[in-house]
Amino acid sequence: MTTSRHRIRIIAAAALLAAAPITFAACGGGESSSSGGGTGVEAVEQGTVGAVSVQQAHDQLEKGTAVMVDVREPAELAESAVPGTIDIPLGQLESRASEIPTGTPVLVFCRSGNRSQEGAAILAAKGYEASTVEGGILAWQEAGLPTT
């Protein structure tokens, strides 16, 4: 898939997230519906889900107006990480959400933007104002933003 096509899909997914309450099914099953009651995570029931660019994420992180949660696995973090993030693998996010400050917007970050959508939905269901960082670490590095 070309980079442009991938970005269009991410933008379309973000638009869908912002447009209406939806349910995300966990990997490989469950129902999706806008009426709730499914087996997935309700994306907009309690909190909100949005999307921000890597530059917006960087600016908010620098200003301290948001926290950023990286949902990648430890092996991925060892390759490159963004300074100042809270690192919680997606599979542990539900049980470790209490490690994330409340009352501050949360930017959810991954490799390319796919897992961050699920992570933002998990956090929104818990009442966080959560946004995905479009394009993840790949877009972050492409923009020349700092990594360790």
* Residues tagged active-site: 110
Dist CA 143 CA 137 (whole Å): 10
Place of tokens 């009426």: 35
Dist CA 126 CA 137 (whole Å): 25
Task: Provide the token pair at 17.
Answer: 């997230």
Q: What is the DSSP pairing of strand 129-133 with strand 48-52? A: parallel
Asked if residues 76 and 112 have their Cβ atoms less than 8 Å apart, the reply is no
- DSSP state for residue 23 in the 8-state scheme: E
Dist CA 67 CA 95 (whole Å): 18
Question: Which is nearest to 106 in space by CA: 83, 76, 127, 90?
Answer: 127
Task: Provide the token pair at 41.
Answer: 């995570």
